[in-house]
Structures are given as C-alpha cells and as structure tokens.
Amino acid sequence: MITSDLNQVKTALINGDIIALPTETVYGLAANIYLDSALEKVFKLKKRPSYNPLIVHISNAGILEQIAKNIPAKARELANVFWPGPLTLVLEKQDQIPNRITAGKSTVAVRVPNHPIALQLLKSLNFPLAAPSANPFGSLSPTSAEHVALYFKEEINFILDGGPCFCGLESTIIGFENDKPILYRHGAISIEEIEKIIGPIKIKNKNSKNPSAPGMLTRHYAPKTQIQINDDISLALAQNPDKKIGVLSFRKNKKIKTEIHQEVLSISGDLNEASKNLYAALHRLDQMNLDLIISSFFPEKGLGKTINDRLKRAIK
Ligand code: TXA
Ligand code: MG
C-alpha cells in the first residue's frame, strides 16, 4: 500500500522487509544492506541479475568511511559540493560491505539522497539502505509512488509516498581508475557541472560488453512500447500511417495534428524541466496501448545528454 507512515516503514525495514522509498531522482526498492535475506528479495523482485551491484544510501557524508576507504581527493570534493544530491560515487569498499551489494567487486557505489523523507528515514535507522530503482530490471524507472504501485502493488507492503521526484533522472555515477575520475552513468547532474569542480573526466565506453555499471548496458530504461528516434517527426508520422502513435517532444511541436497525442516535456525549452518530466511522460505514453512512440534527440548539452542517453537505450 502507498503510505506516509515513516514509523511503519522503519519497523518493516528493521524486520527484514523491503519497501519502496522516494528519492529526488527516482523511487528505490530499499533494504538493510547488512541483511542478506532482504537483499535477496530485492534481486528477486526486480529480476535483477546478481552480477549487477546495488547503490548504498547513507544519511550524511560523515559516515562515508564506514562504507568506503582510500577515498580520492576528487571524490571528497564532489561529495562536498553535491551531497545530499543525485551523485553516486564508486569507491574502494570497506571489508564489512557484503558481496551481495557489490556483486563481488572490490568497489562500492554510495550516495546521500536529497529527499526530506529519504533523509529522515535514513537518519532514524542504524544501518544504510541499498536501493536500486523500483522497477523490473531494464524497464522505465518510477518517478512517483503510483508508478511503483503499477509495477509492484501486490509484492511490496509499503510504498512510502514522497510525491513526484524533483529530478526525475537517476543519479550521475562517477568512479575512479588510478585516481582518475570516470563517468559510469549519465544522470541528474550534468557532466559540465561535474567538470566545473574536478576538471575533465573520461566517459566509460558505452558499448563495452562488460561495462563497469550495467546501467550502461544498451536496452535499459525502456518503455514496453516500441520507440523510434527521428529528427523529422512529420516524416516519421507519414512513414507509419497505420500505426497508433504518440509523440514525445521537448518543446511543443506545432506541426503535429491535435488528434495525435503529444507529451511536451518543457513548453519553455528548459532541459532541467524536461528531465523531471521525461519518465512520467514515457509512463503515460506506455499506458496508452500505442504501436509506437516517436521522439527526436534533445540538444546534446547539459541534461540533454542524459535524456539522449536514456532515449538511445530505450530503442528496441
Ligand atoms: O538515482 C539513483 O541512483 C537511484 C535511486 C533510487 O537512488 N538508484 C539507482 O539504482 O538508479 P540502480 O540499481 O537502478 O542503478 C545503479 C547502477 C547500476 O547501473 C549499477 O551497475 C551501478 O549503479 N553500480 C552499482 N555499484 C557499482 C560498482 N561497484 N561499480 C560500478 N557500478 C556500480
Ligand atoms: Mg535502475
């Protein structure tokens, strides 16, 4: 059930249950990082392969040393600037971090979420929470309690309601190889913002067969409906005359007939606003029994890069 009762949720977590948790990025499926049976439930429910590690969520940067060691100076700088917030750091793990969390890797992903309810819950617990996005593996991430209920209403007892997520895209993931920063996943903080703090960063090869972050796998973050990218929406519509089509637009596309459903992500052309609306719009389109969703790529700057990354991965 969808609830706002923090005490009930806290008790459930202490008892080894899993719950859905609002964060500023997307909703997560949360479990005590030290309870193997709870972590197992998360992997099972998401149908997530065990080789795909989880992100550890902590209440403040002061307890980072309990999770990670040999923390590079640039990681500390980023944490100082962006935590609480949508930045995940991949760092050398402390010995007590279970292998189930890290999928046997020597590194651990960690972040301090910036959502008042998530922070209040984390502060009230004496263990951190593992929280992958609350969706079946590979599908669209949820940005509201209702989206989580559509996926898992029968399977989870508590979906903690924190309203619509105000970033609406997953966290940006940064790791370090030989102390050099590497972008593992585009996310809700743009590369430009990261580079302002620590200088140029390398982007991990996207098409690698064995990516460091499986969120970099192609075919991920995908709606059920087929999605096609075309810079010329009118042409794409003309090429598919017999299909029931929905259009995903950045600004309103005035050339499209009103009988075609159009989801406009930002009337004013603001990429931050568009990011916040992206998944909610794709969820709505996915509920419409369409044959096809058509979109163009977004401007390749700032959060436009993250939106384009997700669109590329959503193409079947
Ligand atoms: O915004 C977010 O990060 C959300 C909210 C709930 O916090 N969580 C999220 O978790 O997106 P998930 O599990 O859906 O994606 C986590 C990504 C995966 O692509 C995983 O492979 C990567 O983080 N990851 C986790 N641990 C890693 C590690 N040690 N090294 C490299 N990548 C790692
Ligand atoms: Mg995910």
Among all ligands shown, which has an atom nearest to the Cα of 171? Answer: 1
Q: Which of 101, 140, 143, 173 to mutate to test the pocket of ligand 1 (most atoms within 8 A of CB)?
A: 173
**Which residues does the chain have with pLDDT short of 50?**
none
Cβ 266 vs Cβ 273: under 8 Å: yes
**CA–centroid distance, residue 15 to ligand 1 (Å):** 24
**CA–centroid distance, residue 132 to ligand 2 (Å):** 6
Q: So where are the chain's domains?
A: 2-203, 227-314
Among all ligands shown, which has an atom nearest to the Cα of 129? Answer: 1
- Quickly count: other Cβ atoms within 10 Å of residue 191's Cβ: 20
Place of tokens 């609480």: 84
Amino acid in position 137: F
129-179 tens-digit pLDDT: 999 999 999 999 999 999 999 999 999 999 999 999 999 999 999 999 998
Report the pLDDT value the prediction gives residue 222, as an integer from 0 to 100: 85
44 HSE (CA, 13 A, CB side): 10
Q: Which of 27, 50, 55, 306 to mutate to test the pocket of ligand 1 (most atoms within 8 A of CB)?
A: 55
Backbone angles phi, psi at 125, to 5 degrees: -105, 150
Helix axes 145-152, 271-286, angle to 10 degrees: 30
What CATH code is assigned to 227-314? Answer: 3.40.50.11030
Q: Which of 170, 172, 205 to mutate to test the pocket of ligand 1 (most atoms within 8 A of CB)?
A: 170
Report the pLDDT value the prediction gives residue 283, as an integer from 0 to 100: 97
Indicate which residue's Cα is closest to atom 23 of ligand 1: 213
Q: Using a 6 Å CB cutoff, which residues line ligand 1?
A: 23, 25-26, 28, 52-55, 86, 88, 90, 102, 105, 107-109, 113, 131-133, 170-171, 173, 175, 184-185, 212-215
What CATH code is assigned to 2-203? Answer: 3.90.870.10
Q: CA angle at residue 137 from 142 to 25, to 5 degrees? A: 30
CA distance 281 to 188: 17
Which helix (H) or strand (E) element contains residue 233?
helix 233-239
